[in-house]
Amino acid sequence: MGAFVNNSRKGVFMRRSTIAAAFVAATSLVASVALADGRPPTAEETSAISAALTKEGFTKWGKVEFDDGKWEVDNAIGADGKQYDVDLSAKDFTVIKKEIDHD
DSSP string, 27-76: HHHHHHHHH-TTBPPPHHHHHHHHHHHHHTT--B---EEEETTEEEEEEE
- Average pLDDT over the chain, rounded to whole? 82
64-98 pLDDT, tens digit each:
999 999 999 999 999 999 999 999 999 999 999 99
Pairing of strands 83-89, 95-100: antiparallel
Average pLDDT over residues 22-47: 69
CB 58 within 8 A of CB 78: yes
The radius of gyration of the chain from alpha carbons, rounded to an integer in Å, stands at: 23
Residue 32: predicted pLDDT:
42
4, pLDDT greater than 60 = no
